[in-house]
Structure formats: C-alpha cells, structure tokens
C-alpha cells in the first residue's frame, strides 16, 4: 500500500535522497525545507500518512513543529518520525515529549528508515484523521476500525476494499474516474491497471450485497457513490 509521506529536511542532499528512496519504495512524497512549510504541507488534503521531521530547521525546531501538529485536530494523530543529529540525547527525549512516534539518529541507513516508517504505518494502521462512523441507508462505515456493516452484518472488507469504499462514500454524488481511483486508492502504483479498479469494485459490490447498488457505474466515465440512499437499495 502506498502512503503519502511528508519529508521535512533543510539539508537539500538529504531531502532529495529521502524523496528518491521513499518514492522508489512505492510511497508518494511531499517536501518541505522549513517548519512553516511543514505545517502548511501537513494540513493540505490529502493529509500525509506520516511525517519524517528533521529536528534542526532554519525557522523553528522540529519539536515545535511536532507540538503544533499535535495541536490541530486534523493532524493530532499524524505519525511523526523525528531525525536528530548524533549525540543530541536531550533532544531525542524532547522529540518524544513533543509527541514524535519514533526517531532516528543521523547518519542513518535509508533501509532502516524505510523499515521504521513501515512499522509506524502498520502500528497506526489507519488514516491519520479518521472521522467518526458514518451511516448511509443500510450501510455503516467505521473509518477508524476500517470496517463496514450492511444491516449490521460485517461485510468483511479487505484494507483495499475499505479504502475504495470510503473514498467513494466520502465523495458521494460525484463521479470518480478510474485514473483518479488508481491514483488516490492504489497510490498510482505503476503495476496496477485500470481494469483492476473494475475487478475490485465488482468484488466490493458483491461483499456489500444490497448496499452494493449504492456504487453506480457510469459507462465511459467511472464510478459514483449515490448522493442519497434512495429507495430499493436497503431492501
Ligand atoms: Ca537540519
């Protein structure tokens, strides 16, 4: 699964190394060289799934960036991996006090950084800003638990199917093209074909049973989650 990672680092060489390595590992990236830019990028939709945050930035300390992220409702639970320079023992502790999820001491191996990032993402296991559960006709969706129920029956969705459902549901009434779904739900992975979208939508519909009709196919355009539950679908 591809994630959106915000990289905050003022050393250009390191910034580009991290950018290259994370993208090569299949993630999408957003880059910032200052604390202010980091706060701006962290609150832009779609929200990053994780922030790699350098401790020493030109305008403010990483710990301050972290503290401010913890202060906004939208970024309160966004995972943060702090980068510190060797021997800044006190700063490491400060990083955790400000709410960082993990830290790495420079110089570090990029491979280990990727492993740590994956571990944090696994632990968080959900979008950083999961809204409360939503009800639509006979369908109930819990973004935090990544589960969906139809008539109180667990639909047994996979992580991907849930993401697909939630993406469509959050944008109900609006057509989503296959290209947009590939980019936003699959993260634009190069080996995924647009036919894959059809296969997964069909499987998702099957699992949703009667609520599957909420997902409409618009020939030649894409998919749309109904704006209103309407009649018939809940029967
Ligand atoms: Ca720095």
User: What class, spelled out in words, does domain 134-225 have in CATH?
Assistant: mainly alpha
Centroid of ligand 1 to alpha carbon of 73 (angstroms) = 27
Q: How far apart are the first and last CA of the chain?
A: 35
Question: Which ranges constitute the DSSP H helices of the chain?
Answer: 12-24, 35-42, 62-71, 89-97, 110-124, 159-170, 178-184, 194-208
Confidence at residue 95, expressed as pLDDT on a 0 to 100 scale? 59
Confidence at residue 129, expressed as pLDDT on a 0 to 100 scale? 43
- The one-digit pLDDT tens for each residue of the chain (235 residues) are 679 999 999 999 999 999 999 999 999 999 999 999 999 999 998 899 999 999 999 999 998 999 999 888 889 889 999 998 866 655 555 556 677 888 888 888 999 999 999 888 888 765 444 456 788 899 999 887 889 999 989 999 998 899 999 999 989 899 999 988 988 888 876 677 778 899 999 999 999 999 999 999 998 899 999 998 875 444 3
Centroid of ligand 1 to alpha carbon of 65 (angstroms) = 13
Peptide bond into 107 cis (omega under 30): yes
Query: Residue holding tokens 């959106």?
Result: 4
Centroid of ligand 1 to alpha carbon of 56 (angstroms) = 4
**What is the spatial distance between Cα 149 and Cα 153, in angstroms, rounded to a whole number?**
5
The domain spans of the chain are 4-124, 134-225
Q: Taking the model in full, what pTM does it have? A: 0.54
Confidence at residue 235, expressed as pLDDT on a 0 to 100 scale? 36
132 neighbors 150 (Cβ within 8 angstroms) = no
Report the candidate in 187, 199, 198, 200 with the shortest Cα–Cα distance to residue 1.
Answer: 187
Centroid of ligand 1 to alpha carbon of 57 (angstroms) = 5
Report the candidate in 190, 185, 194 with the shortest Cα–Cα distance to residue 221.
Answer: 194
Centroid of ligand 1 to alpha carbon of 71 (angstroms) = 23
CATH superfamily of 4-124: Response regulator (3.40.50.2300)
Centroid of ligand 1 to alpha carbon of 199 (angstroms) = 45
User: What pairs with residue 147 in β-bridges?
Assistant: 142
Centroid of ligand 1 to alpha carbon of 222 (angstroms) = 44
Which residues are placed with Cβ below 5 angstroms of ligand 1, an ion?
10, 54, 56
Confidence at residue 159, expressed as pLDDT on a 0 to 100 scale? 86
């Amino acid at each position: 699964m591809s994630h959106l990672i915000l990289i905050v680092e003022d050393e250009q060489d390191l910034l580009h190394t991290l950018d290259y390595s994370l993208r090569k590992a299949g993630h999408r990236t957003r880059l910032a060289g200052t604390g202010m830019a980091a706060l701006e990028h962290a609150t832009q939709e779609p929200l990053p799934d994780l922030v790699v945050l350098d401790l020493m930035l030109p305008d403010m300390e990483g710990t301050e960036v972290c503290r401010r992220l913890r202060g906004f409702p939208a970024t309160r639970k966004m995972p943060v991996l702090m980068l510190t320079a060797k021997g800044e023992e006190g700063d490491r502790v400060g990083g955790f006090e400000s709410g960082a999820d993990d830290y790495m001491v420079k110089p570090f191996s990029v491979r280990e950084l990727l492993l740590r990032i994956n571990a944090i993402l696994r632990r968080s296991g959900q979008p950083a800003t999961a809204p409360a559960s939503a009800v639509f006709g006979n369908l109930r969706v819990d973004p935090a638990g990544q589960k969906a129920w139809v008539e109180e029956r667990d639909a047994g969705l996979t992580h991907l199917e849930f993401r697909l459902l939630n993406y469509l549901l959050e944008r109900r009434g609006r057509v989503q093209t296959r290209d947009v779904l590939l980019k936003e739900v699959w993260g634009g992975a190069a080996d995924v074909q647009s036919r894959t979208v059809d296969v997964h939508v069909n499987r998702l519909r099957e699992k949703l049973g009667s609520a599957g009709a909420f997902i409409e196919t618009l020939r030649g355009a894409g998919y749309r989650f109904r704006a209103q539950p309407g009649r018939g679908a809940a029967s």
